[in-house]
Chains A and B, each alone.
Chain A
Amino acid sequence: MAMQIEVNGKRCAVSYPPDTPLLYVLRDELGLTGTKYGCGEGQCGACTVLLAGAPRRSCQIPVSAAAAKPITTIEGLEKEGKLHPVQQAFLDAGAFQCAYCTSGMVMSSVVLLQTNANPKREEIVQFLQGNVCRCGTHPRIIEAVQHAAKMMQERAR
């Protein structure tokens, strides 16, 4: 019997074995390639997705463990052609160079801002410590998260 997972609000049948890391199911089977492979060891954060709203390294989670929870990937953030404020903030701040880490950075930042609407610089640094950017765009990423926080607060008003 095919396993099902719920990704970005859609039920998807999965034929890969239950112990396959969620990352490979998303990328190879479902074609959701916005979630990146960076290390396969949970050390770089490029594969970060939201599992029931919590940030998870999809390379470390067997797909079977994700079957009962809603999954959000970078592809699920944009609503009706409108970017999520965090995506918009990264775009506005030019917070990328090669941009391979961007999906993971954006997903982690989305969670941070859900739990902390107005994070201090040190809190952003702490939260994103597990996400690697090899191009050294960190200061702009911090700036983007702060900018996103402002946009989201204004929107909530």
Chain B
Amino acid sequence: MNTLRERLVAEPERFEFGAVPMHQFDLARREFFKILGAGIAVFAVAKDALAQETAPGSPSFHSEESPKEITSWLHIGEDGMVTGFTGKAEMGQNIRTSISQTLADELRVPFESVRLVMGDTALTPFDAGTFGSRTTPTMTPQFRRVAEAARNLLIGVAAKEWNVPPEGLVAADAKVTHPASKRSLTYAELARGKTLAQNLPAEDPITPATEWKIAGKPLPKVDGRAFVTGNHKYTSDIRLEGMLYGKVLRPPSFGATLVSYDDSAAKVMSGVTVVRDADFIGVAAPSAHEAHKALDAIRTQWKEVPQVSSKEIFSYLKKNAEPSSNERFRHQKGSLEEGLAAATHGLEVTYNVAYIAHSPLEPRAAVAQFADGQLTVWTGTQRPFANRDELASVFHMPESKVRVIVPDTGAAYGGKHTSDAALEAARLARAAGKPVKVVWTREEEFTWAYFRPAGVIEVKSGIASDGKLTAWEFHNYHSGMSAIETPYDVANQLTQYHQVPLVLRSGSYRGLAATANHFARETHMDALAHAAKMDPLEFRLKNLSNARIRAVLEAATRSFGWPRKKTQDGQGFGLACGTEKGSCVAACAEVAVDLASGGVRVVRVVEAFECGAIVNPDGLRNQVVGAIIQGLGGALFEAVEFENGRITNPHFATYRVPRFRDVPEIEAVLLDRKDLPSAGAGETPIMAIAPAVGNALFDATGIRLNDLPLVPSGLGKG
């Protein structure tokens, strides 16, 4: 897969995010007001903003060395409209709404007078990307800080106007009031004719969650109407004057190299531009069907190379692990030998996790335009600034001449970090001298995007006769380090991550390896509970002192009615829990197995989730329920199959995703901890569902399933 982009740009993130580019945003204030008009502006300078993006335990990219970074800002216009700016992208996780709520709340203005400019490298502050559940924990306090500073600035303007001390003034309901003289001026009136700007050092937010008025409420999605009418323009909906449609010629298999090439028939087609640049072959034409025809007319021959298949992937991963002494990948405590010697029961199990695909419903897409020495690209990416940098590097342009704009996107789930479509559209646009749109087909999306990596996880453990864990050894090969460490109390443990060179192009996915690691750990814990002849809940609580996990576990089991009595054959109940990215989750599942056919149905799921103070309970519920349903796919049947360098199930007809019939009765129990900072919620709710379902299947049948997906074709007869 040695294509243009892979030779010219850095390898995409693989598992966790260690390397974060450093940038200093440098938009002159005069420039800022020229774009936005007069008014009042506040810039937040957060010294720790970048440091927070790096994975825990990674080498220090630390705040002390990083430049002062403007990470968010807002503008209050002469019409009183408040505009917030953030480099984050909206992809269905509903942060446009939740951030707007936070801004309105802290600025004391109606929700309707706030709008957000997001993911536009020319207008918004630098941002490393929308991933890692970082939007809520970083953007919420930052916007509160800028809003608070703006309020104080407005109070200052009013105080000067009235020649009174600012201490007696109150900012509320979009105006500043002087109660003593009953005078008031609206924010709009105060902003009129001003070009006031203020920088703001990082400070703690001032309004505690208990006093939120607009944040914390289940407000509906901003611009919801544009989505139900079809009016919202996703990247793939953009049409520019004279725009061409681009298609890329893909090799027949991964690693194939071009042997012969003949584009003579395609080149002579009317309005068609053909580009061959190293291994990149693409066409642009006035319509999609003409682009297809041109692509079909290009004759190529390829030399293919042997490739690993999905049938042998797990033994391959195990065999090809890189010897590593990297302490970052290893956590050790106590003595495993002593722990195992003290055990009355021991257990050793290997768990396998298949590759899965994000398959967001809007495939990768980009529209690129070169005009007046500037490249503008609209693309649905989670990393607009990284995309900009890659475009600048590939086209040898200064970053200031490249602008990336992210329209609210048709989902990503961690799958849209890279700039593939952006580079392809831009390469074609440059050759054609016209704007070009590239929209990947579903098959391209399933084949040439990247995947959640497969993995092998080996767990060896011991428990004492009272059910206390005495030893815990956990090795993850390839799938990743997220949530790799056990939250349970165990004195003797060894946890290690083993890198393996990539087989398929792999990268981020909702929750990263937290799902794989929780599947292995929570399945193993269930098997240990069974070995100890203890109830799975009781066994976990016995080994768990983390109060937040205990709380979600107790909340989920209470709503579920744990322990449940079986009322029919094939019925089973299971649970799982865990913590990651500052939030905690516990899930209980009920399954029904048709013992004659082996058919499996998930009947009911109760999941409790806690992510600190809830910013928007309605949006949060959507995320939690969505994660449960998406998680059911990877739990039950999703798996990328491959052979001879080809994905053999690159269609929705062969790669099964959850559909309406797969959806159980779902209850999401949201714990609102107003005393804790708000954590992100896009990822963690996905990670308990697979082990909960697997444990329920064991309860139903006595069959222990240790691989994901659990039942790609049912349990089998008998």
Contacts and interface: CB of A to CB of B under 8 A. Distances in A.
Interface string B615-632: 000100011011111100
A150 B623 CA distance: 27
A67 B607 CA distance: 50
Interface residues of A, number: 59
A136 interface: yes
Most chain B CB inside 10 Å of its own CB: which residue of A40, A83, A133: A133
Interface in B633-687: 651-653, 657-661, 663, 666
A39 B652 contact: yes
Interface string A124-135: 111011111111
B228 A132 contact: no
A62 to B, nearest CB: 11
A9 interface: no
A48 B388 CA distance: 35
B288 interface: yes
A95 B137 CA distance: 25
Interface residues of B, number: 55
Contact of B234 (A32, A100, A128): A100
A124 B659 CA distance: 12
B93 interface: yes
Interface string B26-55: 000000000000000000000000000000
Contacts of A129: 659-661
The main secondary structure of chain A at its interface with chain B is loop
Contacts of B659: 129-132
B626 A135 contact: yes
Q: Is the interface of B mostly helix, strand, loop or mixed?
A: loop
Nearest to A102: B227
Given A34-B231, A41-B442, A100-B411, A83 B221 contact: no
A55 to B, nearest CB: 15
B245 interface: yes
A128 B239 CA distance: 30
Contact of A97 (B239, B442, B622, B653): B622
Contact of A132 (B287, B625, B652): B652
Given A38-B442, A97-B411, A140-B622, A43 B228 contact: no
Given A28-B288, A132-B652, A134-B657, A91 B92 contact: no
Interface string A72-100: 01110110000100011011001011111
Contacts of A22: none
Interface stretch (B269-277, B358-366, B496-504): B358-366
B228 A137 contact: no
A90 B228 contact: yes
B285 to A, nearest CB: 11
B229 interface: yes
A137 B622 contact: yes
Nearest to B665: A139
A43 B442 CA distance: 10
Residue with the greatest number of chain B CB neighbours at <10 A, chosen from A44, A46, A78: A44
A29 to B, nearest CB: 8
B229 A78 contact: yes
Nearest to B218: A94
B410 interface: yes
Given A36-B361, A91-B220, A139-B666, A43 B651 contact: yes
Nearest to B359: A134
B230 A34 contact: yes
Contacts of B627: 136
B361 A134 contact: yes
A58 interface: no
A100 B289 CA distance: 23
Given A37-B236, A39-B652, A136-B628, A97 B230 contact: no
B686 to A, nearest CB: 9
Interface in B191-241: 220-221, 224-225, 227-234, 236-237, 239
Nearest to A88: B228
A32 B409 CA distance: 18
A98 B652 CA distance: 19
Contacts of B360: 98, 100, 134
Interface string A21-53: 000100111011111111111011010000000
Contact of A40 (B229, B442, B630, B661): B442
Contact of A136 (B224, B236, B658): B658
A4 to B, nearest CB: 18
A98 B629 CA distance: 15
Contacts of B94: 97
A46 B227 CA distance: 13
Contacts of B410: 36, 98-100
Interface of A: 16-17, 20, 24, 27-29, 31-41, 43-44, 46, 73-75, 77-78, 83, 87-88, 90-91, 94, 96-103, 106, 124-126, 128-142
6 contacts: A16-B289, A27-B237, A39-B651, A87-B228, A140-B625, A142-B660
Given A24-B287, A96-B227, 6 more contacts: A16-B289, A73-B230, A96-B228, A97-B93, A98-B362, A98-B410
